[in-house]
A and B are shown apart, each in its own frame.
Chain A
């Protein structure tokens, strides 16, 4: 039997379509039950993000960290490494970037911006790398260790933000504002969208090139597909316990840094909440393809923006988005859906 590429792409796209359809139906049912004005609520949910420049730009802006966390998870998943510590890695990346900005308020942007982004990347990479190192050294399960380390870190970063870094003038739990030369250029006023989106889309293509067109990327994928085979082929399998975790953490740390310097210009307690988990969903929708991460992140940003618009203008709460996300999570790996599509196609 001839299996061609377009047919497998069709099956995975159709499977994805069914998954998203079920997710939206779930949302409609919840809105019908819970909202007093279901028609308005649905309108704001579906169309809200497109009604003005501010909402639309902010939606695109919200996709930036999701692209980065999605890329980070794709790298880990391609190598069959489970990085569940994304939440903490984003958070500590934000802390590292903000610390550099706050410690060096007079540095010029040309040196300061790369320096603080490098700090964000290193912080995330070090934290995820620790789980990778435990696995490398003693085969400690990285799935649980990365989650536990991240959760411990979240509380510690909370403490630093509300303690050492807390702005005493502010009534919010936040640090001082970072100096203006660290702010990223806004490209779509009045929204928060900044120039970093261009670089991050480029980065996604670069990541694709690395994974699929370089020797190291190939080795990493082989280790992920079948580590026994890779070992037999003479690859240093243990190296690919460590490297993908470091890369994955680096992307997460960068997501934190970019959010602080591009959008918030200060460090809020809990600012990264959900970015790590959503990165996993984004990577799954994208089937761990770095370029696919771009539309998948936009879709997730749309869901959140829609829920936010419905919350502001109608009578439901924003957490309805996580219910929809959960449905996507549930079904995205369900093979039965894909084989259903395949069967239908064969009989058609």
Chain B
């Protein structure tokens, strides 16, 4: 495990050093790429709580990513037109303050995860995969056909939202916010995995009968994990929308759900820092292969196939060389 800790530290240091170097030589685009890595890794860290510890293969996490995005879009668009969201029974106005937006995004995503989780967790295995995928698609079509917030065209925000004392329009400062949240989420999921809750959840993945026999409910453990997982992915969605200053139904699409899982797998299943490695590899490939060929998805597909069939540990597993403790 020591070697894995070194790799993890190198990963985070790399994610910090590359944008700092880009800042020093004035390459804002590279900083934006690093910010994307941090945000997408955060989304995958969220999914990894359900998938890595709980064994819940959710193919619908785009739902929470999109809800986070739309929470930001709706609040900020009302704030920029000074048009309250609702006036009765109480006055609710839009806001451009990031921490407030984050809280709304997290709560909205958690609520959605509670409803979707409560329905989907009545089943397991393949049913669960298909149902989460279907609920994600439901929100996608809802976002397309609901005209109030842009429908298919999405919603643009003129200026990035504010964070107290920082200038969020400066790429490196916005990166710092995203990186800090990623580090916080990683710390949180490490604590969670080692907590009694995390251990029980892990046990519910391996032998649900025994968990039940000691008086715990696997359903409740999984639902709690699913809600936490959706909430973190929702936070990432709010940041992603802020990075692009744009939200659209694409955030809800099934490809987004697939990509979030792909980050975890490329990095290594069951590895805490797998999402960071996977998101970094994905964005790097997208950037360099995308320049070489318009059809870079073919190479991504072949790489993914090779990882699934032959190198199941992903990047971290290959480098650390040891099987993950619970595999």
A is bound by B: no
